[in-house]
Amino acid sequence: MLWQWLTRSKTHGYHRWGYLVFVLAGLPPVTSFALASVDGRWDLWAWLTPLTYFGLIPLADIIVGTDTLNPSVEETPALEKSRYFAALPLLCVPFQLSLMLWGAHVFATAPFGELGALGWIVSMGCLGGVLGINVAHELIHKPTRLEQWSGGLLLSSVIYGSFKIEHIYGHHVDVATPRDNSTARRGETVYAFIARALRHNVPRAFELERLRAERLGKRYSPWRGELAVWFALSAVFAAACVWVAGHWLGLVYFVGQAFVAVCLLEIINYVEHYGLQRRKLPNGRYERVDPKHSWNSDYLVTNMFLFHLQRHSDHHAYAARRYQVLRHFDESPQLPFGYAAAVVVALFPPLWRQIMDPRVDRYMEMLRSQKPQPST
């Protein structure tokens, strides 16, 4: 199949052209604008992006199926050092920022009704979640200053620069424990989880920044730290949206798309660790994080769109590993669908619990029968 050719190479694992599908993530808003310009149904076409992301992509996942193959030991070093693969997430930065500013202009000038205006904000927020936060997540885990700052720039475009600190120094340390507000508890609805995450994660980022400064022997001021830079950049982006829109509606658009993007991120967080727990050891510490503490999904289409975010089990076990060499583990808990479908299912708590709670119970029972990993 053409898709398999695009995503597989006979010589070195994932084919270099397959990940270019990230460009397709930006097509639904542009397509909806073009179609509405032709037939005038602005309020209808404004919703094309979420319908594509959460309707067509799950369907494509079903048709194409899963891919559990891993890069070989021989292939991995060359893939990790590839400048091409390193460049793709960086290319998303100007792409996403340009689309965000263009979206502000469309929001202020297109003849949307109230329903269409809401649809456009939701659409651009979904785009910000996919090309903004998802790509930022890949970048902030990497060692180079260019990647780190590019990730922070993308997070600033959705007013969530705090994620850069809380995710790395909070979530990755405390994942699958009661201390982590980005780990969903069994039986917790996605709506309660989003409220908890938004309420606690931003203040925690400031607290983590303060603790980091103290460990380095530096005097801490929230006005001079890294978080201040990201929130200042968010203000710059807000002003840019107002300027491009030529109207205060640009600010409504900017805040609205950011809120949708952040909520989408937290829904994904909800899916990634729902109900999973690390065991507490006799010394009071928790067992080491390994691939058993994150839900994995190998549905190929969504994985290519999301730079392999769904291989989340390997990511949490080896956070610095680049997307092109993330691995499938048979022992990891497996979702019955891709993340795109999981977002939709999570919005209906009774359905989500019917599907996921038995899986959580079976998997946790299996883990309890095994010897826990030592603490780090």
List, for residues 8-62, the tens digit of each pLDDT value: 544 344 456 777 787 889 999 999 999 999 999 999 999 999 999 999 999 999 9
Segment 240-269 shows an average pLDDT of 97
In a domain, 209, yes or no: yes
In a domain, 375, yes or no: no
**259: phi then psi, degrees, rounded to nearest 5:** -60, -45
Q: Are 355 and 336 in contact (CB under 8 A)?
A: yes
Segment 185-196 shows an average pLDDT of 98
Q: Which amino acid is at 271?
A: V
List, for residues 193-228, the tens digit of each pLDDT value: 999 999 999 999 999 999 988 888 888 887 888 999
In a domain, 374, yes or no: no
Percent of the chain with pLDDT over 90: 78
**286: phi then psi, degrees, rounded to nearest 5:** -95, 150
- The pLDDT score that the predictor gives to residue 371 is 72
Confidence check: pLDDT of 294 > 90: yes
Contacts of 202 (CB under 8 A, 6+ apart): 162, 166
Helix residue spans in the chain (DSSP H)? 2-7, 27-39, 42-45, 48-51, 57-64, 76-81, 83-109, 114-127, 135-140, 145-156, 162-166, 172-174, 190-215, 226-245, 249-273, 300-305, 312-317, 339-346, 349-368
Segment 266-286 shows an average pLDDT of 94
Average predicted confidence (pLDDT) for the chain: 92
In a domain, 373, yes or no: no
Indicate the pLDDT class of residue 2, thresholds 50, 70 and 90.
very low
Indicate the pLDDT class of residue 376, thresholds 50, 70 and 90.
low
Burial class of residue 13 in the structure, from the number of CB atoms within 10 Å of its CB (0-12 exposed, 13-18 middle, 19+ buried) = buried
Segment 282-305 shows an average pLDDT of 91
Percent of the chain with pLDDT over 70: 94
Confidence check: pLDDT of 113 > 50: yes
In a domain, 60, yes or no: yes
In a domain, 327, yes or no: yes
List, for residues 298-330, the tens digit of each pLDDT value: 999 999 889 999 999 999 988 989 999 999 998
Please state, in angstroms and rounded to a whole number, the distance separating the CA atoms of residues 49 and 224. 38
- The pLDDT score that the predictor gives to residue 375 is 61
Number of domains composing the chain: 1
Identify the domain containing residue 298 by its residue range.
2-368
List, for residues 127-176, the tens digit of each pLDDT value: 999 999 999 999 999 999 999 999 999 999 999 999 999 999 999 999 99
In a domain, 233, yes or no: yes
Crossing angle of helices 145-156 and 83-109, rounded to 10°? 20
Within 10 angstroms of residue 267's Cβ, the number of other Cβ atoms is 23
In a domain, 376, yes or no: no
Contacts of 333 (CB under 8 A, 6+ apart): 276, 292, 294, 295, 296, 313, 359, 363
